[in-house]
Structure 1
């Protein structure tokens, strides 16, 4: 017997945000316009975050865009994400969004992080120090190479 209660309110809200993002992206005209507006959307979403989440998201954004310029910023389920050929490679999930203890830097299937039979695809973030920035930079580069 299953105890499944359905999606949480936070999960439903994220799905609604994703549907809005998809509709908005479909209305944009040129590829350049889509890219520019996607960047503005990501920066606006980061600006809405509170305190530590905002600071970490700003640093993650700066590190990823500087070290993996082939990744295009976009919103994904209401989170800042970075895509290659339209497929989300990595994303930042604020702690506040899902009332978690820590923020998450996650990587999806297109990320080339393979390391044997098992490897990490998500990392907990409590602070983005210079050392953490270096690790994020290396992961971003590896993800697209």
Structure 2
């Protein structure tokens, strides 16, 4: 759920709330699991967006399974777009039109998004947003 659904301190509920949900869906698909998964071995990997954000863009560290280069680029694109979509401030989230353009474009053209959350897993929002 978008943070503004839980608290009006984050803004009003709007179409950007749906962008947030779509971003979380992209991240779940890219991570091949729910975004908050307590079954993960390392506590730092429990909240997938926090783990994914720490991975250097363009590195091979984001590999989630055996796949070819095209598959890896698709996963990186999904993660980058997903991180843009889950920005805490609704004004910083892209429109769905922009999301589609980013997904259709080249991953190398995407800018690294700002950190989209307060803090990983331990933050007051970390567990409740997925």
What's the TM-score once normalised by structure 1's chain length? 0.29
What's the TM-score once normalised by structure 2's chain length? 0.31
Q: Comparing both structures, which one devotes a greater share of its residues to helix?
A: 2
Q: Comparing both structures, which one devotes a greater share of its residues to strand?
A: 1
Q: Which has the larger radius of gyration?
A: 1
